[in-house]
Amino acid sequence: MSNNSNDFDKILQNLDSKLESKREVYSGTPQGSKKNFDYDEYMKSYSEKKKREDDEIRKAAEAQQNAFRQNAIRQQEQRRMARRTDEAAGQQQQTPYKNGVYFSNQRPRTAQQTSGPIPADRSSSAGVKKNGRNKKRRKASSGGSRRMTAFKSVAPLLALVLVFTTIFSTFGILCINDVLAINRKDSPVTVTIPENATTDQIIDILDKEGLISQSEFCKVFYKLTSKLKNSKKPEYLAGPYELSADMGLEGMLNVLKGKQNNAETEKLIFPEGYSIYQIFDKLATYGVCKADYLYTSLDISNYKYNFVPELENSRACYKLEGYLFPDTYEFYIGENPISAIKRFLSTFELKWTEGCRQKAKELGMTTNQVVILASIIQKEAANKSQMAGISSVLHNRLNDPVNYPTLDCDSTYEYVSKYLAPKIGESAAQQYMSLYNTYLCEGLPVGAICNPGMDAIEAALNPSETDYHYFQHDKNGKIYYARNSAEQDKNSFEVARANSAD
């Protein structure tokens, strides 16, 4: 190929030199110009002639180049065929055999097995070449057959791997979803946790309720993460909970724990006279726990306190209203709702001392009756100084049910309209109106109307000694007491005049 390439280069150089000489001839200014010489016509004719000659030279060069290429390809193919022939002949001569004759398309046979002379076509060089080519074709055919056989044997294994990969991927996604709660529903599900439940038992409950789908994986995952975090064995608080799948495994388990893993806390102040609705709304607002979870956790069976058995037969809308003692508390963010409620109840039990119990016994009242009375005093009094006087009015009326069967306190029906109705609905709230409204029900209502502080509880246990049976306030919070209805009417006139004053 190197000699041919040099010859081709020389031809191209000759053609280029000829083309350049022609360009030099036609590039000059025409000599001997005549009068009628048309320069533009001359240049047009020159350009056309030049283009025709260039095309001829280019075609000649391309034809010569193609000829060289075809010749090179033929020479290369001839050398390749010669190598194949030499290799086939070499393999035929180098094939080892012992005491026998070797055929290119058969197994070696011994001299005894070989009968008669070797056919001429097999002993000739043409026969060797022919048998060599046949042998290569058979080898190629045999190789393709082996590859197909190998593929057929491997195909079931590949299919099995694909199936297992798909199953494992799907299983892995479900497992991760249980932990990370990706695209999970936020609809609440009520779950009841029994006493002394273990993590594995709770995970089984979550699986049964449809909050997770891979309980065994969740058990292994939780044990592994707990070991890595060096976490202590958790304690779970028994009771009903509102949980949703979008909380994830760790989020749901953390809600159920008595001691939270979250180190972030929030200090909150709860004033005297807050209702359950106001307390739960504040806890939810500051991220302590969701209000719905708190309402679900109000079942008194979740709490073991001395005053709880007395509430079992109560007809109150929320039996623990009045016992969420107002104080300053520090809560975990995302705290267990039962744990949060226990903080209030534990404080109440601490404040409700043996002295309180003895005083209530002297008055012939139960703990719940004192709490209900204290809640009314808390809502009716404008300040602490009025509490003992209002307590005396209420005690005097309770002690004379014949003449004063009802307490007639506005705060009792306001509790139903302002707090119960928005939560449970107008229709359900109307059913409680006759149980709470002290213009309708005789004596104390069925439950407390707020959560009183210690001042109101002390006032309920220690009323002033008076003969008042009525009281009312003007717009400035001034209180007017009356012994009978006539004095009450007179006080109403004074209140009206005070309220109308600028």
- Secondary structure (3-state) at 116: coil
Please tell me the chain's helix, strand, coil percentages from 3-state DSSP, rounded to the nearest 5: 60, 5, 30
66-121 residue pLDDT tens: 776 777 787 777 777 777 776 666 555 554 444 444 334 444 444 444 444 444 44
Length of the chain: 502
Predicted TM-score (pTM) above 0.95: no
- CA-to-CA dists, residue 381 to 227, 269, 323, 410, angstroms: 56, 21, 19, 12
Highest mean pLDDT among 109-118, 247-256, 341-350: 341-350
Residue 8 has pLDDT above 70, yes or no: no
**What pLDDT does 20 receive?**
57
Contacts of the segment 62-70: beta carbons below 8 A, 24+ positions apart: 64/8, 64/11, 65/8, 68/4, 68/5, 68/7, 68/8
Q: Give the pLDDT band (50/70/90) at residue 156.
A: low
- Give the dihedral sign, CA 176/180/186/189: positive
Backbone angles phi, psi at 314, to 5 degrees: -70, 145
Is the predicted pLDDT of residue 474 greater than 50, yes or no? yes
Q: Check whether 329 has a pLDDT greater than 90.
A: yes
Looking at residue 279, its pLDDT comes to 98
The answer to whether the CB of 256 falls within 8 A of the CB of 289 is: no
| Pairing between β-strand 328-332 and β-strand 189-193 as defined by DSSP bridges | unpaired
> What is the spatial distance between Cα 244 and Cα 246, in angstroms, rounded to a whole number?
6
* pLDDT at 170 > cutoff 70: no
pLDDT, the chain, mean: 80
pLDDT score at 98: 44
- Mean pLDDT in residue range 460-488: 97
Can you list the domains of the chain with their CATH numbers? 143-259 (3.30.1490.480), 360-500 (no CATH)
Tell me the pLDDT band of 177, cut-offs 50, 70 and 90.
Answer: low
Least confident interval from 14-18, 22-26, 225-229: 22-26
pLDDT of residue 128: 46
Residue with more model confidence, 158 or 194: 194
As a whole number, mean pLDDT of residues 162-191 equals 62
Neighbours of 385 (CB within 10 A): 10
Can you tell me the distance from the alpha carbon of 13 to that of 352, in angstroms, rounded to the nearest whole number?
119
Residue 307: pLDDT band (50, 70, 90) is very high
d(C-alpha 302, C-alpha 256), whole Å: 13
Q: What is the pLDDT of residue 38?
A: 63
